[in-house]
Structure formats: structure tokens, C-alpha cells
Amino acid sequence: MPEESLEATEIKEKLDEAIERLEGGEAARNVRWMLYLSLATALMAVFAAIASLEAGAHSNEAIFEKNEAVLRQSQASDQWSYFQAKGLKSTFLSAQSQSLPQTSSELAQRLAQAAEHFASEQVDIERKARELEKDVTESNKRATLHIDKHHRFALSVTAFQVAIALCAIAALTRRQFLFWLGLAGGLLGAVLFTIGFVL
């Protein structure tokens, strides 16, 4: 009997050692997995912060370009009003010069010259108004590009935030499939982040 109890004690000790090694391996895997989860979450948080800054910067640029477009449109409208005023003066003076009797030919000639002067001023005014309208179009195009970039970066931030939330839940529940799902969300965020810079 003493041999049997010695054998049982040895077997129990060997089983306990095997369980400790097995648990130690599992613990090492859990530590490694938690390390990967922590690093991935931290990287996603960094990229989310950068994407958020880019989204805000492009939003500000879009607002600036829209303000420039409104200002240029106002200036173009002013130029067109000025153009019309010069045209009215030219037409009015031309009509007056033609309606004067022959006895006032000197006055008619001065009125005709003034009418031509106003008509010639209209050319420069029209050129300025068209340039301003071109600036309006360009500012609106740039604003649209900035808004598109803003949306891409904002979507990237959203994808990163969802991925971070999934990783946090994975850490709390110790469910690796949530970690993999979070990594997929992080990958989507990274693609949108890259597209934001490229396009």
C-alpha cells in the first residue's frame, strides 16, 4: 500500500505540474493577445485623432472658400450694377446728343463724346465682373473638394471609433472575435483615412 500511495502522490504532483504548465501557456497567450489588443487600440486612437484634425481642417477650408465665393459674387454683382449704370448714362447721353437741334452741334458733340467714354468704361467693368465670376466658380470648386475630403476623414474617424469600442468590449469580455471585428473596422478606417489624403 505505501507504494500505491507514493505512486498516487507522484501522479497527482505530475498532473498539478501539467495543469500549471497548461494554465501558464494559456496565460501567456492571453497576455500576448491583450498586448496586441492594446497596441491595435492605441494605433487606431492615434489615427482617429489625426483623421479628426484633418476633417476639421478641411471643414474650415471649405467654409473659407465659400465665404470667398460669396464675397466675390457680391463684388461681381456690384460690377454688373456699375456696368449697367455706365450703359444707361451712355445711352441717355447718346440719345440727348442726337435730339439736339443743329444750332447746338458743339453741345451734341460733347454729349456724344461723353456717351462714348461711358461705353468704353463698360469694357473694363465687364472684364472685371467676368473675372470675379470666374473666381466665384473656382472658390466653389475648391470648397466642394474640401467638403468631400472632410466627409472621407469624418467617415474614417467614425470607423476608428467603432473599432476602438469593439476592441474595448473584446478586452472586457475576453472575446477574440470582437477583437478581429474591431481590427476589420480599423482596417476600414485606415482605407478611408488613406483615401482622404490621396483623393
How far CA 106 is from CA of 62, 98, 155, in Å, comes to: 58, 12, 74
Cα–Cα distance measured from residue 126 to residue 118, given in angstroms and rounded to the nearest whole number: 12
Is there a domain that residue 186 lies in? yes
If one counts the domains in the chain, the total is 1
Is there a domain that residue 88 lies in? yes
Is there a domain that residue 109 lies in? yes
Domain interval for residue 62: 42-198
pLDDT in tens, 110-127: 888 888 888 888 999 999
Per-residue pLDDT at 1: 46
Is there a domain that residue 30 lies in? no
Q: What is the largest CA-CA distance in the chain?
A: 153
Cα–Cα distance measured from residue 152 to residue 164, given in angstroms and rounded to the nearest whole number: 18
Residue 20 reports pLDDT greater than 60: yes
Is there a domain that residue 76 lies in? yes
Per-residue pLDDT at 34: 86
Q: Using the structure block, give the residue that is written with the C-alpha cell 460690377.
A: 79
Could you tell me where the beta strands, DSSP code E, fall in 46-94?
none
Is there a domain that residue 89 lies in? yes
* Cell numbers placing 105: 452741334
Average pLDDT, stretch 8-16? Answer: 71
Is there a domain that residue 136 lies in? yes
Closest CA to 86 of 112, 113, 125: 125
16 alpha-carbon distance from chain centroid: 60
Is there a domain that residue 183 lies in? yes
172 alpha-carbon distance from chain centroid: 34
Per-residue pLDDT at 158: 96
